[in-house]
């Protein structure tokens, strides 16, 4: 009943002081101002929270800035819960991520199916398993050459998917790699990292144990400033070379780094495109003024 009283009073006063009813009369402007006052009063009293703020303001008129803040925080507050907006945004990004990764993965499979090295191996495995013979059945199940070719292509792609471990940006997408699961699993990953870091300090800093193969590769990867997926995409013989040269030792890595930089400089110096670029920069590149004779 208490909530219905402001609505009932508002309807009565609104009909009485509505500007359209008093249009053309002398007190129309006064009625318009009073109608706005009535509407403001109704907006304040119809809601339980705003009514509490109004009662508090009457009891504590000296807290002007607090009333001012509460009023505009309610007026400008979003109508939809911000948490729902964030959740929907994260879910949309996660769905886009997942399908984008699947698209990249399928592109990689389609490309590998055209590479002779992988296609020949996949075809040989399909023959050994008798998968290609099934596509050339006769009688009622006989199909056109186009259908047989498409089915053989799918068989080859499936074998490539199962036999080849694609790493890096074109690896097979996993559901827990998307943004939504990364956010949900963030506390778990943080706790896991803290436990692992404490274990590392205890084993190698306090007890002075020797590094294992995984620990050595981890240090090398950190020196090279590579992500885990980037490092995993390297060939096994490259990692074996890193271990043979003991690159987990800082001094050895610095020597290796300088060697790689010198080798890169030599390759760039021998590259005809790089030579043309340097010649252009020297003769006609930015910062050089030339005159054209007519």
pLDDT at residue number 289: 40
Give me the tens of pLDDT residue by residue for the chain, a chain 294 residues long: 456 677 778 777 777 777 776 665 556 677 777 778 888 787 777 777 777 777 777 777 777 777 777 766 766 666 667 788 889 999 999 999 999 888 888 888 888 888 888 888 888 888 888 777 655 555 555 667 787 788 888 888 888 888 766 665 567 778 888 889 999 999 999 999 999 999 999 999 899 899 999 999 999 999 998 888 778 778 888 899 999 999 999 999 999 999 988 888 887 777 777 667 666 656 655 444 444 444
Rounded to a whole number of angstroms, the distance between the first and last alpha carbons of the chain is 96
Cα 178 off chain centre by:
7
Could you tell me the domains of the chain?
Answer: 3-76 (1.10.287.110), 83-133+144-173 (no CATH), 211-283 (no CATH)
Give the C-alpha separation, 163 to 154, whole Å. 14
Please, where are the H alpha helices in 113-185?
116-128, 131-134, 145-163, 179-184
């Amino acid at each position: 009943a208490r909530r219905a009283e402001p609505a009932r009073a508002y309807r009565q006063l609104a009909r009485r002081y509505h500007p359209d009813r008093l249009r053309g009369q002398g007190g129309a402007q006064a009625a318009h101002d009073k109608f706005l006052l009535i509407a403001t009063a109704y907006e304040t009293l119809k809601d339980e929270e705003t009514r509490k703020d109004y009662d508090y303001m009457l009891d504590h008129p000296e807290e002007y800035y607090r009333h001012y803040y509460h009023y505009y925080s309610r007026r400008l507050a979003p109508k939809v819960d911000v948490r729902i907006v964030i959740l929907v945004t994260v879910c949309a990004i996660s769905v886009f991520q997942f399908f984008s990764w699947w698209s990249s993965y399928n592109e990689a499979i389609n490309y590998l199916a055209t590479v002779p090295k992988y296609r020949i191996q996949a075809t040989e495995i399909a023959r050994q398993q008798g998968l290609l013979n099934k596509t050339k059945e006769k009688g009622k199940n006989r199909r056109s050459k186009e259908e047989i070719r498409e089915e053989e292509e799918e068989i080859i792609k499936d074998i490539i998917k199962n036999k080849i471990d694609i790493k890096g940006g074109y690896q097979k997408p996993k559901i827990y790699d998307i943004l939504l699961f990364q956010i949900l699993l963030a506390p778990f990953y943080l706790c896991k990292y803290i436990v692992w870091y404490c274990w590392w300090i205890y084993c190698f800093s306090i007890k002075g144990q020797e590094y294992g193969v995984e620990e050595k590769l981890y240090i090398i990867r950190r020196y090279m400033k590579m992500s885990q997926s980037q490092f995993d995409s390297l060939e096994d013989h490259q990692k074996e070379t890193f271990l043979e040269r003991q690159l987990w030792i800082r001094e050895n890595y610095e020597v290796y780094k300088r060697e790689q930089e010198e080798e890169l400089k030599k390759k760039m110096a021998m590259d005809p495109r790089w030579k043309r670029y340097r010649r252009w920069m020297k003769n006609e590149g930015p910062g050089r003024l030339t005159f054209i004779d007519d």
